[in-house]
Structure 1
């Protein structure tokens, strides 16, 4: 393995930075390329066919160009839809992102678990299977909150999103049968941990939030254990879409160690 070969993190936007933050703790010397399909955002409102074709096409191009040692799809929506397809066509280890239902089921005391995700994520059969395997006997209450994706993007750009979106997300879970008993909430989108503080205020005390960023980082570390790392150039952020809009993220990306930006 070329020690300069990067780990490629892919997301529809900036949500995957939550995974990158955890990865830095475990593998601080690993070269990283972060790819954001900002032109395709939001994924959660697209059809499964659109998402699968877009993700497979972009990762194919990025794999050929940058020769990563491992690819992480740091997006719940893209993973639940396109992970199997991508693994079939790309000859490189691929780590996906799935809703953290298993740890949530071990944490809940009331047996009522909330799940916030995009519309595309919460309707997937993959989530049904996770619920059946790990939350059998518990109540999993789902709510689509795509507006939280935009709120996270706004906040990372230094803006102030409308606070009502956080209240609406909490009420969307609380208003359902058993919702008042929710004590654990799965953040089933990598964008959502960026607004965890705002969600905590909206839900009130006594609610624990769980997401998969730490587990994904541990999986990457396990799969690359024993490999050498050498960062020959500063880490790179790639993006699709409007370059001017992405330039607003320069300061935030720098805080995550991404010192260069380019368009795909």
Structure 2
């Protein structure tokens, strides 16, 4: 197998455009593969959905995506989606490999010096039992604060499209991540548990009351996807892929321009 057209694409899925942070890293590691980026913008944001309804929506959507595009692997670049429906997707589509996104609590617990870690996430990820289990399994010796932001994913979408976002609004969302204990111990790691958030990492660093390590999971997700995708020597990048699908069917002009900037046609 040497012709690029014979290689199956990698499908990257997110509720919006946050998964582009993962796509960017995955392309570096899998240059021979084509990519299909799927944004469920008609369902965005996922935080306000009832769990059963959201599960049904995502499974129904993937039934169509897998039938129409037959990808090599599916990367669920959304903490909220994967912590809710990852097991259900694997059960519903056992022939497909799913690479998930979960809060990077284990590496945060391994790297913290103060023992104070915050997880900046969506409300859906914060309330998920999956997240609590990660803390129980890997961070028992740490104080982990879960911060569920109602508005930050929307703000990140606006920010990456070039729309203005006020410092005050951002600080109101991230401020609870920073805690002090016993006078000298301070939060030293913040886990970015939503793929939208790394787009605003420079803003977070500027507004933070003290320096912390912001953990972006995108590279680790891409590495895991690379491990699951066969490396085909001599394969050429296929021209048929590298497009995006929006479930609304009608992304706005700024989103279209953003996709073009990432080298993605609108499918």
Q: Partners of 2:198 and 2:151 in 1: how far apart?
A: 14
Q: Partners of 1:250 and 1:140 in 2: how far apart?
A: 38
Question: Structure 1 residues 34, 93: CA separation in 2 closer, same or farther (over 3 Å shift)?
Answer: same
User: 2:257 is matched with which residue?
Assistant: 251
Q: Partners of 1:141 and 1:229 in 2: how far apart?
A: 46
> 1:53-72 residue pairs with structure 2 within 5 A?
53-72=56-75
User: 2:217 is matched with which residue?
Assistant: 212
What is the CA RMSD across the aligned residues, in angstroms?
2.0
Number of aligned residues: 260
Give 3-state SS (helix, strand or coil) of 1:137's partner: coil
Give 3-state SS (helix, strand or coil) of 2:33's partner: coil
Q: Partners of 1:45 and 1:176 in 2: how far apart?
A: 31
Structure 2: 5+ residue runs without aligned partners?
Answer: none
Question: Structure 1 residues 164, 12: CA separation in 2 closer, same or farther (over 3 Å shift)?
Answer: same
Q: Partners of 1:257 and 1:146 in 2: how far apart?
A: 30
> 1:88-237 residue pairs with structure 2 within 5 A?
88-90=91-93, 91-174=95-178, 181-227=186-232, 228=235, 230-237=237-244
Q: Is the 8 A contact 1:45 1:118 kept in 2?
A: no
Q: Is the 8 A contact 1:156 1:249 kept in 2?
A: no
Q: Partners of 1:34 and 1:51 in 2: how far apart?
A: 19
Q: Is the 8 A contact 1:3 1:230 kept in 2?
A: no
Instruction: With the length of structure 1 as denominator, give the TM-score of the two structures.
Output: 0.92
Q: Partners of 1:74 and 1:244 in 2: how far apart?
A: 19
Give 3-state SS (helix, strand or coil) of 2:6's partner: coil
Q: Is the 8 A contact 1:182 1:207 kept in 2?
A: yes
Question: Structure 1 residues 168, 100: CA separation in 2 closer, same or farther (over 3 Å shift)?
Answer: same
Q: Partners of 1:178 and 1:257 in 2: how far apart?
A: 50
Question: Structure 1 residues 143, 29: CA separation in 2 closer, same or farther (over 3 Å shift)?
Answer: same
Instruction: With the length of structure 2 as denominator, give the TM-score of the two structures.
Output: 0.91
User: 1:40 is matched with which residue?
Assistant: 43
Q: Is the 8 A contact 1:4 1:232 kept in 2?
A: no
Instruction: Decide which of 75, 81, 86 is 1:78's aligned counterpart.
Output: 81
